[in-house]
């Protein structure tokens, strides 16, 4: 069974109007995932994302130690 039809304009609005989450949420997610603070992993990490979508958002961080990011 198929769901209701959604037009392209609705999908476009969903994609473009998605709010970004709070920066503290990003900090916590990185802390829980890597066991380190953002400043320990990245030299630069802007609080405002480049883009935000319905299931993710995009940042452009700069690694502090690119060869040691997974340690």
- Looking from the CA of 37 toward its CB, the CA atoms found within 13 Å total 3
pLDDT digit string, tens, across residues 5-35? 667 776 666 665 677 888 999 999 999 999 9
**What number is the average pLDDT over the span 52-57?**
68
**57 vs 71, higher pLDDT:** 57
- Kindly report whether the global pTM for this prediction surpasses the value 0.75: no
- What was the pLDDT predicted at 28? 95
- What was the pLDDT predicted at 48? 86
Nearest to 49 by CA among 22, 29, 31, 28: 22
């Amino acid at each position: 069974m198929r769901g209701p039809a959604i037009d392209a304009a609705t999908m476009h609005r969903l994609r473009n109007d998605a709010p970004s989450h709070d920066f503290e949420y990003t900090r916590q997610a990185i802390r829980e995932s890597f066991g380190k603070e953002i400043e320990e992993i990245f030299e630069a990490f802007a609080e405002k994302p480049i883009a935000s979508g319905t299931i993710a958002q995009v940042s452009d961080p700069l690694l502090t130690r690119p060869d040691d990011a997974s340690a």
